[in-house]
Structure 1
Amino acid sequence: MSDAIADAKRALRAELRERRHAMSPAARAAAAEGLHAQLNALVAARSVTTMACFLSTTTEPDTHAFVTDAAARGIRVLLPVTRADGLLDWAVATPDGEIAEGLFGLPEPVGELLGPIAVNDVDVLVIPAAAVSPDGTRLGWGRGYYDKTIGSMEGCPPVYAVVFDSEIIDDIPRDVHDQPVTGIVTPTQTLTLAPTGR
């Protein structure tokens, strides 16, 4: 990655992080409710029976209620567990599943680990992002876990990045290893983007 791209990403992440920290509790609650509805509509529209999702941190759009609800309705939801080698293990969500602090302080499920290839069988991936552009360029938080996961999948299913509405940004710095997404989910809308050729 060139220094210019790395610096631009760092600056944008810092700005987005600050914006997220400044959100009011009322705005967070409204966003959580909206995101839950959008994700329910997405899995219904795509007849999803198995999916990958993530457990949000306190500043991300809240996915916890959706994950609990989806698992209770019989959707097989795989949740990521970070590994020191840069890969993701996966565990199956349960409605009353225990959550612990994983690497980097992220909320992660406690339970049997299925290994990195378990995600190859999902109908859709729902992943975190700092921002996404309308052409599918995703800005993550800089550790590369999801770029590695998406880049290594044969026949990758649709990938939807979750962001707040204000985080759909036209101009996101992009490097060669950055994997595009096929859709964006916000608290008010779900966008399926034009194919990128991946």
Structure 2
Amino acid sequence: MVVAKTAVRDQLLTTRNRLSLLERSDAARAVSRHLTAAPEVRRAATVAAYVAVGSEPGTAPLLSALLAAGKRVILPVLQPSMDLDWAVYAGDQDLAPAPRGLLEPVTPLLGPTAVATADVVIVPGLACSSVGERLGRGGGSYDRALGRVPVGTFTCVLLYASEVGVPVPVEPHDRPVTAACSPAGIVRFAPTF
């Protein structure tokens, strides 16, 4: 299974890395428009999100829109154990470079269970199946975080359109999401619980 996941990840990352800066920028704006129009996000008080890196669909427009809409935004802080802690984000002035090329908030940590207080949880990924099985980068950080999120919470992976609805290798510890958002729109998955 590990070999299969590695092969799929390599293929997806190669495709992502071929996207131009303009395509990435357009994707970031489209994802932001779709999510901020979603009823789950409009009625949310707290949104757990992340700062995109590399060829991931950008999150800067989304984070700005969430703050402008008066949402409480919490972002992850990667711990040495590969688990995620969380901290409040109030703007780019709260961000600092962190290991693995990440940008993380420098505000006080809220604890790993803070993600359970979010009304919406937005996570990164490389692909998602037609039933919400998410393929991440392989560290398990977001699977652990998603395991703390109450059933029924809107959990959404940000992807490019070609990465939604594709078969992904799944292991028992992998946590599904309830939706995927790409520049093409939001796809919601039927609950499997």
Fold shared per TM-score above 0.5: yes
- Corresponding residue for residue 178 of structure 1: 174
TM-superposed deviation, 1:109:
1.6
Distance 2:39 2:83 in 1: 26
Indicate the RMSD between aligned Cα atoms, in angstroms.
1.6
Letter in 2 for 1:15: Q
Residue in 2 that maps onto 1:10: 6
Equivalent positions of 1:23-172 (< 5 A) are: 23-42=19-38, 47-155=43-151, 157-172=153-168
**Is the Cα contact below 8 Å between 2:36 and 2:65 reproduced in 1?**
no
- State the distance in 2 between where 1:33 and 1:190 align: 14
1:195 deviation in Å?
Answer: 0.6
Code of the aligned partner of 1:129:
G
* CA deviation profile, 1:65-123 (whole Å, cap 9, x unmatched): 21122123310011001001122111111134332222322221221111111111111
Aligned partner letter, 2:74: L
In the alignment, the residues of structure 1 paired with residue 55 and residue 96 of structure 2 have an alpha-carbon distance, to the nearest angstrom, of 17
Judging changes above 3 Å, is the alpha-carbon distance between structure 1 residues 45 and 83 closer, same or farther for their aligned structure 2 residues? closer
- What's the CA shift for 1:176? 0.6
CA 168–148 in structure 1, closer or farther in 2 if over 3 Å, else same: same
Contact map agreement 1:69 1:95 (CA 8 A) in 2: no
Secondary structure at the aligned position of 1:127 is classed as strand
Q: Which runs of 5+ in 2 are unaligned?
A: none
Gaps in structure 1 of 5+ consecutive residues:
none
Work out the CA distance in 1 between the residues paired with 2:163 and 2:7.
Answer: 14
With over 3 angstroms needed to count, the CA separation of the structure-2 counterparts of 1:154 and 1:69, relative to structure 1, is closer
TM-score by length of 2: 0.93
Matching residue's letter, 2:29: E
Change beyond 3 A, Cα 1:76–1:25? same
